[in-house]
Chains A and B, each alone.
Chain A
């Protein structure tokens, strides 16, 4: 942070209510003016966080997102208006934030956060507010913050529940200490599961509060404390979390020395043995007791498919798994020749699906052994 930039007459007028706060005062406002904050994700969490941090006078406010505004965003992403639909989020966000506070510098980064660019993206900033909607991004941002010793305020939401905590280098646990690894798909995203519109408003505002406290050095931040909010019961629960000596990025012997793309976990032999292999010949007798998931691409499914089967292409399986996990009965995965469905079975077992069945030999075996007129499309 730049040291003690002078407050102008316009600053003093605008931030008067901060200046009269004894704990905050002129020194606190100067620290905010010197601060550089990056908001990762201009979504439900990023919207309120950005608005409050801009209003509060954070001197340089960056926002990174690769998406455009969609009408379904407007139920909770309060940075945007109807007229912004179709506009890149960072463009609309920057215009809104500059209109709110012309005294600050707003930086728009229209980009997807990746393992390759995250180090460069966060480099100019002092503190990162993570409001991303992907676990892989959360790990990349966390790892980059640990490696570059940046402060991080993390939050995540799901339906009516939110969780948040802050990381300060050398003072407390990082995101990997709290959740050492989480495969994409262990929880569905908001598009699939829904989210109460006001929920990210609460969590994003907490993130802005935390960022201001950390930048100005006031109060007691959520370092080493995981805060869980349940909107339905209106409960805040707090849990003490500790730094892990064996943490892969901030532990004593780190194995992560640069941000990485998440590698899909694989089944061990025991897990693989749990997948029941079913032959095409045996399928007719069991058809009614199985939920059929066809993991071929949509164009293959469209040519011909088993009656009652649902299409969930392997490429989109992770997003659909949580809904399948809630299904109590056996789930049969099928594809053209049995390869993709075996991969789907393994992903399903890793995600926690208990009763998993693979159609051995796939629809080619079905067409050979059971229904000779069945047309199996080329992939």
Chain B
């Protein structure tokens, strides 16, 4: 089982009990997101739409590489970053 860390943007931490980092598992971003949804119901839909596209106010990175879709590969020990547009000034 591929294990990874998931760094959670502040606006999404309401799902993770305010945790900034949670554990993820899966060999692709798609699988990691599915696991997150099982652990934190509703979280995936905040990031991914019905057509499995990444929502326009969200950017996902595996380590420092941007994932343009959810097929991106995730390897053991990787960090998945969930980034969300912020609006405060």
Contacts and interface: CB of A to CB of B under 8 A. Distances in A.
B41 A354 contact: yes
A138 interface: yes
A183 B57 contact: yes
Interface string B51-89: 000001101010011100000000000000101111111
B39 to A, nearest CB: 13
Contacts of A228: 81, 83
B85 A325 contact: no
A160 B87 contact: no
A158 B41 contact: no
A41 B45 contact: no
A353 to B, nearest CB: 8
9 contacts: A158-B87, A181-B56, A182-B56, A187-B57, A226-B59, A226-B83, A232-B20, A325-B42, A326-B15
Given A41-B89, A131-B89, A230-B20, A239 B83 contact: yes
Interface string B27-61: 00000000000000110011000100000110101
A179 B66 contact: no
A253 interface: no
A186 B41 contact: no
Contact of B14 (A131, A132, A326): A326
A179 B59 CA distance: 7
Q: Interface residue tally of chain B, by bracket? A: 20 to 34
A155 B89 CA distance: 8
Interface residues of A, number: 57
A44 B87 CA distance: 12
Most A CB atoms within 10 A — which of B10, B50, B89? Answer: B89
A171 interface: no
Interface string A163-181: 1000000000000001111
A211 to B, nearest CB: 16
Interface of B: 7, 9-11, 14-15, 20, 41-42, 45-46, 50, 56-57, 59, 61, 64-66, 81, 83-89
Contact of A240 (B9, B57, B64): B64
A270 B50 contact: yes
A44 B61 contact: no
A237 interface: yes
B87 to A, nearest CB: 5
B57 A181 contact: yes
A161 B86 contact: yes
A335 interface: no
B50 A271 contact: yes
**A-B pairs with the 7 shortest C-beta distances?**
A182-B57, A326-B14, A133-B89, A156-B86, A181-B56, A352-B46, A179-B85
Given A179-B57, A270-B50, A190 B42 contact: no
B57 A158 contact: no
Q: Which of A179, A181, A233 has the most CB of B within 10 A?
A: A179
Interface string A30-45: 0000000000010111
Contacts of A184: 87
A162 interface: yes
Interface in A116-150: 130-135, 138
B89 A158 contact: no
Contacts of B59: 178-179, 226, 239, 241
A38 B50 CA distance: 40
Contacts of A45: 89
B45 A44 contact: no
Nearest to A184: B87
B10 A200 contact: no
B57 A161 contact: no
Nearest to A134: B87
